[in-house]
């Protein structure tokens, strides 16, 4: 069985003065969590234990009881009268942060070792432990009771004492019979929300390899993420390479203009005020609008990708690895904008991954090398140009492609998206000859593809689908179903058009 978790967000309606109580409760939670983080740093071996044992060890180190009258680092010195379940929730939060910090530190050490071993200088700074704690308080059972769809009773620290408090809940209802986790009390601007994780159990989907080799009806949704107007281009493909549908998801120009304008304002404000106070965030409101808009768009785009995959019953989502950020030159607003556009791609991938998993769709990634430079039909190098430009050379970022070898014309993003899907299917189509993670599937492919193209040229005929594939970008609208084609290498039967071939057993 596999499990997926979604978070149900509900708004708390409370008296205005209770907002201050929630804030005090959260501050206390963070103080206790920060204390436990320090305890863990002082006793690093705690991290080698599982969560339950680590919890017990940390309580022995800090909690005063009759059997344990003198703990090493008493919690009572930081805060008194902490309810057991409040303490455990804080320990859990501290353990999570400590494990994450530890993992980052470990990776940094490895990178350092590797670089020094090569005789290079290593300049990357080590990760730092959290300087400030701003976690939302988790309410374990015992900290809340009498929950209904419209109200619940919470136990919060008011700043002076612990108090039970009834609040009203509005917003989305919890699904009945769902497996709910401990809710969190989350600050949202001036308001407070209740976030409840809701679990869903389903049978685990078969592995990618199994789906692609054992089931000829498997459909994959290949996604090319971009930084231009089309943030994503998705194609639905079958295992043997037919293209069933395409969708472009736009909005890149609008977000880029929005960000650029605000980054420009940040730069102008900074110019006016001169020095920026150290350790203090400037232009708080402007940064928040940029962040919120980016976040919102990433959720929107990822949701639409997953919806598209679900509509066409695709069971695998394929992206390419994102590569590294290529810094741009120019004004502050331009540099900042391109950096955020790059981060946006990472976010869309992450959000799409978990949203897809909730729909029982697996996500994987393929080598990005030359996905936009090679023709999806024959593997030759393509010409990339814009409308009205001469059709030669390769201008990165332009929308159209033309293949000089097979005369395929189309949209560059769509070509890349098809290519990404093909990378995944070729990875499993000939396991005996190709390693699963062959570093250069593209190179190997183009050699084979040329062979096939040559044999077809010699015959002077082409399957009917070729003509369709050539036009593949000229008429595709948003989400129109299109049939392109891809030759499966190593199954030569030139007289039979690809689409009529029987599914492979
Ligand atoms: Zn071609």
Environment of ion ligand 1 (residues, CB < 5 A): 375, 377-378, 380, 403, 405-406, 408
Low-confidence ranges of the chain (pLDDT < 70): 275-280, 430-505
How many whole angstroms separate alpha carbon 145 and alpha carbon 166? 9
- Residues with Cβ within 8 Å of 354's Cβ and at least 6 positions away in sequence, in order, are 4
Global pTM exceeds 0.75: no
**How many angstroms is it from 504 CA to the middle of ligand 1?**
25
- Residues with Cβ within 8 Å of 451's Cβ and at least 6 positions away in sequence, in order, are none
**How many angstroms is it from 401 CA to the middle of ligand 1?**
10
**How many angstroms is it from 382 CA to the middle of ligand 1?**
7
**How many angstroms is it from 377 CA to the middle of ligand 1?**
5
Torsion on CA atoms 397, 400, 401, 407, rounded to nearest 10: -170
Pairing of strands 409-411, 400-402: antiparallel
Task: Evaluate whether 405 touches 375 at the Cβ level (below 8 Å).
Answer: yes
- Residues with Cβ within 8 Å of 23's Cβ and at least 6 positions away in sequence, in order, are 187
pLDDT at position 296 is 93
**How many angstroms is it from 433 CA to the middle of ligand 1?**
24
Per-residue pLDDT tens for 60-96?
888 877 787 777 777 777 777 888 888 889 999 999 9
How many whole angstroms separate alpha carbon 495 and alpha carbon 492? 9
**How many angstroms is it from 449 CA to the middle of ligand 1?**
9
Question: What are the φ and ψ backbone dihedral angles of 235, each rounded to 5 degrees?
Answer: -130, 140
pLDDT at position 293 is 92
Pairing of strands 230-238, 184-188: unpaired
Per-residue pLDDT tens for 34-66?
988 988 888 888 888 888 888 888 888 888 777
pLDDT at position 275 is 67
* Cα dist from 494 to 77, 243, 464, 466, 488, whole Å: 81, 20, 12, 12, 11
**How many angstroms is it from 500 CA to the middle of ligand 1?**
21
pLDDT at position 141 is 86
């Amino acid at each position: 069985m596999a499990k997926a978790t979604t978070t149900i967000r509900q708004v708390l309606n409370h008296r205005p003065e209770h907002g201050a109580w929630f804030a005090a409760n959260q501050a206390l939670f963070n103080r206790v969590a920060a204390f436990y983080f320090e305890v863990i740093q002082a006793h690093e071996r705690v991290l080698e234990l599982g969560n339950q044992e680590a919890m017990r060890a940390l309580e022995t180190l800090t909690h005063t009881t009759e059997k344990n009258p003198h703990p090493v680092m008493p919690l009572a010195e930081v805060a008194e009268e902490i309810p057991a379940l409040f303490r455990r929730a804080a320990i859990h939060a501290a353990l999570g942060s400590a494990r994450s910090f530890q993992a980052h530190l470990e990776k940094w050490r490895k990178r350092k070792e590797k670089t020094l071993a090569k005789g290079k200088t290593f300049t990357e700074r080590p990760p730092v432990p959290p300087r400030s704690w701003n976690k939302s308080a988790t309410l374990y059972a015992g900290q809340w009771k009498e929950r209904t769809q419209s109200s619940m009773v919470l136990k919060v620290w008011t700043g002076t004492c612990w108090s039970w408090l009834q609040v009203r809940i509005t917003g989305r209802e919890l699904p009945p019979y769902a497996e709910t986790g401990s809710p969190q009390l989350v600050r949202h601007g001036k308001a407070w929300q209740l976030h409840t994780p809701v679990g869903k159990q389903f049978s685990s989907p078969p592995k990618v390899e199994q789906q692609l080799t054992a089931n000829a009806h498997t459909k994959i949704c290949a996604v090319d993420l971009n930084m231009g107007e089309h943030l994503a281009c998705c194609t639905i493909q079958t295992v043997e390479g037919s293209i069933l549908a395409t969708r472009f998801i736009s909005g890149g120009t609008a977000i880029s203009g929005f960000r650029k304008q605000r980054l420009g304002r940040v730069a102008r404000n900074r110019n006016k005020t001169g020095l920026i106070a150290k350790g203090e965030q400037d232009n708080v409101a402007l940064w928040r609008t940029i962040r919120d808009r980016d976040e919102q768009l990433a959720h929107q785009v990822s949701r639409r990708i997953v919806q598209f995959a679900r509509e066409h019953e695709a069971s695998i989502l394929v992206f390419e690895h994102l590569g590294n950020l290529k810094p741009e030159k120019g004004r502050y607003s331009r540099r900042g904008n391109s950096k955020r556009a790059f981060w946006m791609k990472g976010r869309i991938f992450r959000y799409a991954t978990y949203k897809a998993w909730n729909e029982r769709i697996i996500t994987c990634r393929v080598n990005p090398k030359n996905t936009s430079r090679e023709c999806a039909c024959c593997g030759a190098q393509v010409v990339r140009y814009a409308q009205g430009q001469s059709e030669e050379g390769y201008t990165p970022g332009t929308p159209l492609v033309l293949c000089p070898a097979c005369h395929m014309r189309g949209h560059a993003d769509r070509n890349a998206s098809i290519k990404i899907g093909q990378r995944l299917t070729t990875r499993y189509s000939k396991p005996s000859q190709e390693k699963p993670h062959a570093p250069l599937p593209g190179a190997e492919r183009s050699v084979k593809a040329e062979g096939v193209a040559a044999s077809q040229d010699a015959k002077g005929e082409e399957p009917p689908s070729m003509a369709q594939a050539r036009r593949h970008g000229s008429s595709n609208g948003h989400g129109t179903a299109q049939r392109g084609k891809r030759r499966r290498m190593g199954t030569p039967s030139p007289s039979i058009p690809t689409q009529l071939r029987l599914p492979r057993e």
